[in-house]
Amino acid sequence: MVIEIVIYAAVSSAIYAMLAVGFTLIFGVARVLNLSHGTFYALGAYFTYTYNGLLKLPLFVAALLAIATVAAFGVAIERVMVRPLRHSGLAVLMITLAMSLLIEQVLFLTFGSETQNVPSLVSDKVTVFDVDISGQRLLAFGVSVVLISGLWLFIQRTRLGNAILAVSQDAEGAQYMGININRVFASVMGLSAALAAAAGVLAAPFSKVEPGMGLLPMTKAFSIVILGGLGSIRGSLLAAIVLGFSETLVGYLISSSLTELVSLVVILLVLILRPAGLFGKHVAF
């Protein structure tokens, strides 16, 4: 049973990590608290459903195409909605929240409120240490590790990555060095949307695909990001693991109905004990 807990916890940590890293990245770089992050997750699942279920594309192609579509959509939201309002943090909060509700409504009007089926990319069961686990969950774990390591390398090794790093440290200073910060913001939004969409695509087969599916994962992402420290990628990775494991443990040891409470308790505890989070440099803003 211990191994079962570890495996399931690792898979949900991986999904949470993909969501939280993107959320913290766009905050750390652009100081944008993106309340439509959860819809990127939902859109990932719905575009996969559209491309695969309705347009009959092969599932793998549909998944990749879905991620690309959501990334482009993220860039568009940054360009059209967020950029003109960036002077006011409150307006950005409101517009991203409004976008998330708008998209949820559009999904609801297009697909209805019933849950959709997104097939698994890997349908076989795999036995790891005598535990049967669906291949899809293992795939989600693997892809998450690959994507996040890729993101890390991208930020550390490439020119655009360095520009992102520079802007996150001091946007104005970076601008004086000739970095086009608008392009950096747009690419970060695209990256963060792509990661959230990937999480949605991978989790879709074993979760309920419905218009409001993004809200709860997004509140999980909040608590992870608060625990890890707003803007810290390392912090969110660690916090995703902490939340994934504590939720799974609470589910196994006490009751699965209490798992939803874990993230709220985490938020409150962190804000009382250490508001900057594990790796946050200072309380933001």
Least gap, CB of 218 to other proteins (angstroms): 8
Least gap, CB of 72 to other proteins (angstroms): 20
Within 10 A of 18 (CB to CB), how many other CB atoms are there? 31
Least gap, CB of 97 to other proteins (angstroms): 7
Residue 176: helix, strand or coil by DSSP? Answer: helix
160 or 215, CB closer to other proteins? 215
Least gap, CB of 241 to other proteins (angstroms): 20
Residue pair 182/27 in contact by the 8 Å Cβ criterion: no
Beta bridge mates, 126: 133
3 or 261, CB closer to other proteins? 261
133 or 225, CB closer to other proteins? 225
Within 10 A of 271 (CB to CB), how many other CB atoms are there? 13
Q: How far is CA 94 from CA 82, 97, 196, 216, in A?
A: 10, 5, 20, 18
Residue pair 182/164 in contact by the 8 Å Cβ criterion: no
1 or 272, CB closer to other proteins? 272
32 or 138, CB closer to other proteins? 32
d(CA 272, CA 52): 46
Residue pair 21/231 in contact by the 8 Å Cβ criterion: no
Least gap, CB of 108 to other proteins (angstroms): 7
Residue 128: helix, strand or coil by DSSP? Answer: strand
Helix axes 233-253, 215-228, angle to 10 degrees: 120
What are the φ/ψ torsions at residue 236 (nearest 5 degrees)? -70, -35
Q: Give the CA dihedral 147, 149, 152, 157, nearest 10 degrees.
A: -100
- Terminal-to-terminal C-alpha distance of the chain: 44
Least gap, CB of 146 to other proteins (angstroms): 29
Least gap, CB of 214 to other proteins (angstroms): 11
205 or 231, CB closer to other proteins? 231
107 or 133, CB closer to other proteins? 107
Q: Binding residues for other proteins, per CB under 8 A?
A: 33, 35, 81, 84-85, 89-91, 93-95, 97-99, 101-102, 105-106, 108-109, 215-216, 219, 222-223, 226, 230, 257-258, 260-261, 263-264, 267-268, 271-272, 275, 283-285
